[in-house]
Chain A
Amino acid sequence: MNKYLSLRNRSGTVSFLLEKKAIATFLVLVCVFIILFLGGLSVGSTMLHPIEVIKHLFGLGSGEYTFIIETLRLPRMIVASLVGAALGVSGLILQGMIRNPLGSPDIIGITGGASFAAVLFINYFSNTFSIKWLPLAAIAGAGVMSLLIYFLAWKRGVTPVRLVLIGIGMAAAASAMTTMMLVLGDNYATSQAYLWLTGSVYGANWQHVYALLPWVLIFIPLALLFSKTANAQELGDSVASGLGVSVQRHRFGLLLISVALAGAAVAFAGAIGFVGLIAPHIARKLVGRSFGSLLPVTALIGGMIVFLADVVARTAFLPLDLPAGIFVSGIGAPFFIYLLYRNRHQ
């Protein structure tokens, strides 16, 4: 019991039980996050001293780095962090829901739907509509695709296995159609589409931050409210129902949150893969199994993975500024293989 911290008000109307290890891990990660974030702000084609960056952020700087920090780097890193956090939490929800460690928004078709819609938009509508509408197209694609998967998987309720299988099938179909459009499209559109499919936060500005922030600020806390039922669902449908969970209703709610987060992230950063898969796994290694502890830690780790990948992407091959997605996959792919390898030997 001494691994837990219980909080109660006097009347007993508010009571929580927190895991001490999770709190400690979270606080350490926040510090690491801040330090790495400052590091990320300092590096680039113009190297800044971290002290200068801190001075600037507290309004004590000379103002000569305003453009580099406030216009170029800060919004981009914030967008990268938000994208990573959203994808991480989305994957965490899916892995718990389908009771399978390989669940993630890119595997069950959410990203596939967004990609299809984005490529469709780039190929056929980018002349008529401003590119500003691309995120909306992507998010709509993710939403339509998930609804489709959900209803196809429905058979007196949705079972996780059907959800995964139909998700994988739909992802494959979407990917085939996306490829077909790439092949048929003209060169410029195709190169644009490829960039989007790799995933990049290049050119992210404050508008993007403001557009993405509400999604993350609404849906991540909302997911936290579902933590009890998410934990119960991991015990299986029968056990969860026995405990009094309205399994189908809560499953739909959780899926909706997961889709909203993944859809928003993918809309602004393209089809960045693997974060949704690996961030929850790393978090589980750190804080164990409880959803309430995992969620904030996964968000931090997901955010860190994407902004670090982006920092590497824009500094490793200066003056080239590569899409962050390459490096997320670069870290993600080997981890994924390691995961499969470990599962095989259990």
Chain B
Amino acid sequence: MYALETKSLTLSYGNDPIIDNLSLQIPQGKITVFVGSNGCGKSTLLRSIARLLKPQKGAVLLDGKEITKLRTKEVARNMAVLPQGPIAPEGLTVMQLVKQGRYPYHNLLQHWSKEDEQMVRKALKDTNLEQLVDRPVDSLSGGQRQRAWVAMTLAQGTDILLLDEPTTYLDMAHQIDILDLLFELNEKEQRTIVMVLHDLNLASRYAHHMVAIHNKTIYDQGKPEDIITSEMVRNVFQMECDISVDMLFGTPICIPHGRGRVIKSGRKAMSLI
């Protein structure tokens, strides 16, 4: 297991810092979700943890070592990254995509070891893509396509998995499909998963640990049921809401205030419960 943490991290594009002096420990073997309003820097933070963005100040530590000083292939054997909205080249097949997850294990002469083969097979099986191996990725549905990308990161065989909004552009059924897959991976193999999610309600359902980002730093972190309050939503998302409880899972759900249709009989029924 590898520990992942940030130490007084400052990130910026240009001169304005987006994240300022942020220190965070990612719990091992748990699902951690970053939430926050648009442009709050949660994706930037994830990109920096994934070493895709160099910090202005501070550092990201993988097992106590500064990540930018480690060999990038070495890092790739411990930590896989799925950026937001990846695009596969036209005509690339699922197999051709997934086997690239083995890149960090290859050298000049070793391109397809037995272990490579096993890991790719397992990744395809875990993501339920075995029937689609020879299909071009761009011909798949959105959900299948995202599963193929997840399969590529799984083939990397890492303890840590970072995903930037893995459910963007997916309909609700496919969002659940991807998140269930990740939840299972965490449950069965205790992989550390860190992701950015837009949907606060889904985040609170799947996250063991939630980190709310606001004002260039951490607003609050902890179990969703401990940190999601109407005050937290007001401060982080600038939105008024009521917090209720998911009928099936018991996790907190946020019901935004605002305008919309009101069905009187529906409200009455709710008040009777």
Which listed residue, B47, B75, B99, B134, touches A17 by the CB 8 Å rule? B99
Contact B72 A16 (CB under 8 A): no
- Give the 9 A-B residue pairs with the shortest CB-CB distance, closest first: A244-B76, A242-B81, A17-B112, A238-B83, A244-B73, A244-B104, A243-B103, A14-B109, A289-B92
Contact A239 B86 (CB under 8 A): yes
Which listed residue, A8, A235, A290, touches B112 by the CB 8 Å rule? A8
Q: In the complex, which of the residues B50, B103, B109, B133 has the most CB atoms of chain A within 10 Å of its own CB atom?
A: B103
Contact A244 B83 (CB under 8 A): no
Contact of A6 with B112 at beta-carbon distance under 8 Å, contacts A242-B81, A242-B83 already known: yes
Q: Can you list 30 A-B pairs, Cβ within 8 angstroms, ordered by A?
A: A1-B133, A8-B112, A8-B113, A12-B114, A14-B109, A14-B110, A15-B116, A16-B111, A17-B99, A96-B89, A225-B108, A228-B111, A229-B103, A232-B103, A234-B92, A235-B88, A235-B89, A238-B47, A238-B52, A238-B83, A239-B82, A241-B72, A243-B76, A243-B104, A244-B73, A244-B75, A244-B104, A284-B91, A289-B91, A289-B96
Q: Would you call A231 an interface residue if the criterion is a C-beta within 8 Å of the partner chain's C-beta atoms?
A: yes
The residues of B with any CB-CB pair to A shorter than 8 Å are 47, 50-52, 72-77, 80-83, 86-93, 95-97, 99-101, 103-104, 106, 108-114, 116-117, 133-134, 153, 156, 162
By a CB distance below 8 angstroms, the chain A residues around B96 are 231, 288-290
* CB neighbors of B among A165-200 (8 A): none
Contact A242 B100 (CB under 8 A): no
- Chain B residue with the shortest CB-CB distance to A4: B95
By a CB distance below 8 angstroms, the chain B residues around A101 are 90
Contact A242 B111 (CB under 8 A): no
The residues of A with any CB-CB pair to B shorter than 8 Å are 1, 3-4, 6-8, 12-17, 96, 99, 101, 225, 228-229, 231-232, 234-236, 238-239, 241-246, 284, 288-290
By a CB distance below 8 angstroms, the chain B residues around A6 are 112, 117
Contact A16 B133 (CB under 8 A): no
B96 → chain A, closest Cβ, in Å? 6
By a CB distance below 8 angstroms, the chain A residues around B80 are 242
A286 → chain B, closest Cβ, in Å? 11
Contact of A288 with B91 at beta-carbon distance under 8 Å, contacts A8-B113, A238-B81 already known: yes
A230 → chain B, closest Cβ, in Å? 11
Q: In the complex, which of the residues A14, A243, A246 has the most CB atoms of chain B within 10 Å of its own CB atom?
A: A243
